[in-house]
Structure 1
Amino acid sequence: MCEPAPDRAQLRELLLAAGSAPDHGRLRPWRFIAIEGASLGPLGDAFASAHAERDPAATDVELGRSRSKPLRAPLIVVVVACPREHPKVPAWEQRAAAVCAAHGLTLAAHAVGFGAMWRTGWYGDAPKVRAHLGLLDTEDVTGWIYLGTPRGNPPPPRPAEEPPVTWLD
C-alpha cells in the first residue's frame, strides 16, 4: 500500500467504527497504537532485533526483510487486546471482542476507500517488540492493520461460498 493513508481525523472515525465491536460487559478490552511515517523505521528495527534473537543464524538479507515489513504501508494500527478481570466475562471472550474491533477497522477502512491488510505473526509475542510498543504483560497483539491506498489492482474480494450450516430440528 502507498500514500495516502487515513489522516488523523479519518483514522479517528475508523477507530470509532471499530469500537462498536460486540463487547459483552462493555469493557472495551482493546486499545490501538498508531504508527506512521518516521516511527515505522524503529518498529522495523525492533522486528529485526527480535528476529536476530529468535534465530541467531539469520542472514542480513533475512533481517532486512524483517526490518522492511512495517514499510509495506504508510500507517499501521496495532490492535491490542487488554483483558480485564471480570466475574462474568472471561479473558478469551474479551480477546474475541478485540478481534472484532480489528475486523471492524478493516471493514471501515475498505468502506471509505482505503486499503487495509490484517497481519499477524510472532512479532507481537517477541519481548523486544512488546517492549518497543509498551505492552503490559496482560496485553496481546491481536493484529497489525496496515492502512493506506491500494497499489495497482487489488485482488477482488473472495467469492461468496455456501456457509457450512448444521440445522438442529
Structure 2
Amino acid sequence: MIRDLIKERRSVFPVQYIDMVIPKENLQQILESANWAPNHNNTEPWRFKVLQGESKTKLGEFLSKKYQEVEEHPKQVKIKKLKSNPKKSAAVIAICMQRDPKESVPEWEELAAVAMAVQNMWLTCTEMGIGCYWSSPGIIEYMDEFFDLAEGEKCLGFLYMGYYDEELPQGKRKPIKDKVVWLD
C-alpha cells in the first residue's frame, strides 16, 4: 500500500551503503518514476545526470577542492565527506531544474515539481530496497563548473544511492492534528 511505502521512506547515507552495483534497469525505472511527477503547464522542469564509475570519483574531487577554495575555514571532516560520499555510493544522480524559458509558471512551482520528482524516485528506491539521500551542499552554486548545464538549468543537489544491509529506524512524526486547522 502506498501509505506504508511513504512511512517506510528514510534517508540512508553513503556511509551505510554496501559495495553492490545498482543495475541500469533499476536506475531507469527510478528515473521513469520521476518523470511522472505533477508539474504546472507541463513544463517538466526536472533534469538528471547519472554518475557511476569514475565520474563519481571526479565529482568527489571537484566538491572537496571547490569547498576548500571558497570556504574561509574549511573543515577536514567536510573535505573528507565531500570527497568520499560519491565514491561510497553505487550511483549519484545530480538533481537539476531547467527553468521554463517562457517563465510561464513561477520558479517556486518548478522547484516544487522537481522536489516531487525526487520524492517519486525516493519512494521507488524504498520499494526496491535501495537507500538514498538528497544532499545540497553549500557549494551547489558552482556545479556549472563541473557539469555542462544548459542555459536556465541549475543543479539543486545530489541523490546519493546505494544498497544497505542494516535495519533502519522507525520514523517519527508529531501528530497531524497539531498541524491542521479545520474550517467549516
Distance 1:110 1:72 in 2: 19
Where does the alignment leave 5 or more consecutive residues of structure 1 unmatched? Answer: none
Mapping 1:58-77, distance limit 5 Å: 58=74, 62-77=78-93
Q: Deviations over 1:18-56 (max 9, x none)?
A: 111111111110111101122111101110121111125
2:146 maps to 1:146: no
Figure out how many residues of one structure are paired with residues of the other and give that number: 166
Cα pair distance change 1:25/1:5, threshold 3 Å: farther
Which position in structure 2 is the counterpart of 1:108? 124
Report the TM-score when normalising by structure 2.
Answer: 0.80
DSSP-derived class of the 1:102 partner:
helix
Aligned-residue identity in percent: 23
Are the equivalent residues in 2 in contact too, given 1:18–1:108 (CA < 8 A)?
A: no
Deviation at 1:151, TM superposition (A): 3.8
Distance 1:47 1:24 in 2: 33
Distance 2:57 2:72 in 1: 21
Which position in structure 2 is the counterpart of 1:168? 183
Distance 2:26 2:148 in 1: 25
Distance 1:138 1:113 in 2: 34
Where does the alignment leave 5 or more consecutive residues of structure 2 unmatched? Answer: 1-16
Distance 2:26 2:149 in 1: 25
Which position in structure 2 is the counterpart of 1:3? 19
User: Which of 155, 159, 167 matches 2:172?
Assistant: 159
Structure 1 residue ranges (4+ consecutive) displaced by more than 6 angstroms after TM superposition: none
Distance 2:134 2:21 in 1: 15
Distance 2:34 2:75 in 1: 39
Distance 2:128 2:97 in 1: 25
Amino acid at match of 1:40: K
Are the equivalent residues in 2 in contact too, given 1:21–1:100 (CA < 8 A)?
A: yes
Distance 1:60 1:14 in 2: 34
Are the equivalent residues in 2 in contact too, given 1:81–1:94 (CA < 8 A)?
A: yes
Bigger share in helix: 2
Are the equivalent residues in 1 in contact too, given 2:101–2:152 (CA < 8 A)?
A: no
Deviation at 1:60, TM superposition (A): 5.8
Report the TM-score when normalising by structure 1.
Answer: 0.86
